[in-house]
Copies of this chain bind each other. A is one copy, B any other.
């Protein structure tokens, strides 16, 4: 009954779970395993994964370790932020946006190595299995997909540890195991499980790893200035930064000031509600700053149409449809609006707060003289009467017709 597969590209972190999967694939499928470990800014060294993989019998030429940070931010994070994407009013899609890149690269490595299968370590109740597999199926549906968490019976930490022990997988003992299930990349770190399973319980201070508790953040605000071009942040305090460096630097700044924590109950694509906590420090700044630079450079109706389309766009990313044609269709619309989204935004960071304190642009559409109650070059106040009258005409007619 088991699918036949000769060579499988595994998304491999080097940690316990994917090491067990590696071994399990070798044993259960009797197949060659290719490991793929990507640095997408998760904040852990990726090189140790090489020794780990070698120790589990992976051939050197089957070990792929790559730094994808710039590609991740430039081609995935930035386009998403052009849309001001937020899922369910709160979540900045930190995990969702990273999976398609990993999946795409796995398929490419499968083609390079002649593999006929791909595998990942996402569980059977979560969104990530969908995001990985939508990526695989969208790129090459002939590859066999192996999702061990849906197949095996190692459905508890104890069984996993037992399996590791039995099969000679070394378990690092780096202090106490976190009670949370976590995922990190340059955009965010997420927490699930543990006491979070009670939506009425506040997370412990110790859970948050990337941001200072607002109470402990500096008592003095810090001002920063972000430069924008074509809707993307390109400079910080006057210095040009590459996409990944930009995000890494903003993460540090925001983290220091306690910015970017989110604690929500969200709706998974597979149907249930789940509690998640997220730290997206740099991303939280980027969202605020992007809206600010758009506020002076974007046409009103472009801005409103973006706002109307955003929930659908965010949902597509959340659900794993990054490579879907409808996401690309929306991206085409969004990108079309960003041509003049350029200039500079000044922000104040203080104990969890981001305040926009200034925006300026060569392409600004703001002009104070049009707003005051005095006369100006473009606006005749008499026009307002006709404008209102015709906007209300359908009410006037209805009032007359129905004598209400």
User: Interface 1/0s, chain A 82-95, versus B by CB < 8 A?
Assistant: 00100011100000
Q: List 17 A-B contacts (CB under 8 A).
A: A130-B384, A130-B391, A137-B392, A215-B350, A270-B384, A271-B379, A271-B396, A273-B296, A273-B366, A275-B366, A275-B371, A299-B398, A302-B326, A329-B336, A332-B333, A351-B353, A386-B387
Structural contact, B357 and A202, CB atoms closer than 8 A: yes
Measured between C-beta atoms, what is the minimum distance from A83 to chain B in Å? 12
Which residues from B are CB-within-8-Å of A336? 328-329, 332
Q: Is A112 an interface residue (CB 8 A)?
A: no
- Chain B residues positioned under 8 Å from A150 (CB to CB): 381-382, 384-385
Within the assembled complex, what's the spacing in Å between the Cα atoms of A116 and B150?
A: 28
Determine if A248 is an interface residue (Cβ-Cβ < 8 Å).
no
Q: Is A118 interfacial (CB 8 A cutoff)?
A: no
**Whole-angstrom distance between the alpha carbons of A193 and B378 in the complex?**
19
Interface segment, one of A40-48, A161-169, A235-243, A306-314: A306-314
**Among A90, A307, A391, A400, residue most surrounded by chain B Cβ atoms (within 10 Å):** A391
Residue in B356, B370, B380 whose beta carbon sits within 8 Å of that of A397 in the complex: B370
Interface residues of A in 83-128 (CB under 8 A from B): 84, 88-90, 123-126
- Tell me, yes or no, whether A200 is within 8 Å of chain B by CB: yes
Q: Chain A, 138-176, contact with B by CB distance < 8 Å: what is the 0/1 string?
A: 111100000101100001100000000000000000000
- Whether A271 and B393, one on each chain, are in contact in the complex, defined by CB atoms closer than 8 angstroms, is yes
A384, B305: Cβ atoms under 8 Å? no
Asked if A134 CB lies within 8 Å of chain B CBs, one says: yes
In the bound complex, residues from chain B placing their C-beta under 8 Å from that of A368 are 197-198, 275
Q: Contact residues of A with B, CB < 8 Å?
A: 84, 88-90, 123-126, 129-130, 133-134, 137-141, 147, 149-150, 155-156, 192-193, 197-202, 214-215, 219, 221, 261, 263-268, 270-275, 291-292, 295-296, 299-305, 307-308, 311-312, 315, 321, 323-326, 328-330, 332-333, 335-337, 340, 346, 348, 350-353, 355-360, 363-368, 370-375, 377-402
Query: With A365-B398, A368-B197 as given contacts, are A134 and B215 in contact (CB-CB < 8 Å)?
Result: no
| C-alpha gap A328/B335 in the complex (Å) | 11
Contact between chains at A373 and B311 (CB < 8 Å): no
Residues in chain B near residue A394, CB distance under 8 A: 267, 271-272, 299-301, 365
CB pair B304–A308 under 8 Å, yes or no, is no
Alpha-carbon distance between A335 and B276 when the two chains are bound, in angstroms: 27
Q: In the bound complex, do residue A199 and residue B296 qualify as a contact, i.e. CB atoms below 8 Å apart? A: yes
Check B378 against A400 for contact (C-beta < 8 Å): yes
Most buried by B among A125, A129, A201, A307: A125
- Interface pair A378/B397, CB less than 8 Å apart: yes
| Contact B307 A311, beta carbon cutoff 8 Å | yes
A335 to B400 alpha-carbon distance, docked (Å): 23
Known A336-B332, A368-B197, A400-B141; judge A312-B303 contact (CB<8 A): no
The answer to whether A272 and B125 have CB atoms under 8 Å apart is no
**A332's closest neighbor in chain B, by CB?**
B336
Give the shortest distance, in Å, between A376 (CB) and chain B (any CB).
Answer: 8
Which residues of B lie under 8 Å from residue A192 when comparing CB positions?
371
A155-B375 in contact given A381-B149, A382-B150 (Cβ < 8 Å): yes
B272 near A384 with CB under 8 A, answer no
User: Are the C-beta atoms of A360 and B199 separated by less than 8 Å?
Assistant: yes
Q: Decide: B202 and A358 in contact? CB cutoff 8 A.
A: yes
Q: How far is the CB of A115 from chain B (nearest CB, A)?
A: 17
Contacting residues, chain B, for A392 (C-beta < 8 A): 133-134, 137-138, 141, 271
Within the complex, the shortest CB–CB distance from A333 to chain B, in Å, comes to 4
Question: Which 6 A-B pairs have CB atoms at the shortest separation, nearest pair first?
Answer: A386-B386, A271-B393, A124-B381, A383-B386, A197-B368, A267-B300
Whether A304 contacts B300 in the complex (CB less than 8 A), given A350-B214, A383-B385, A395-B323, comes out as no
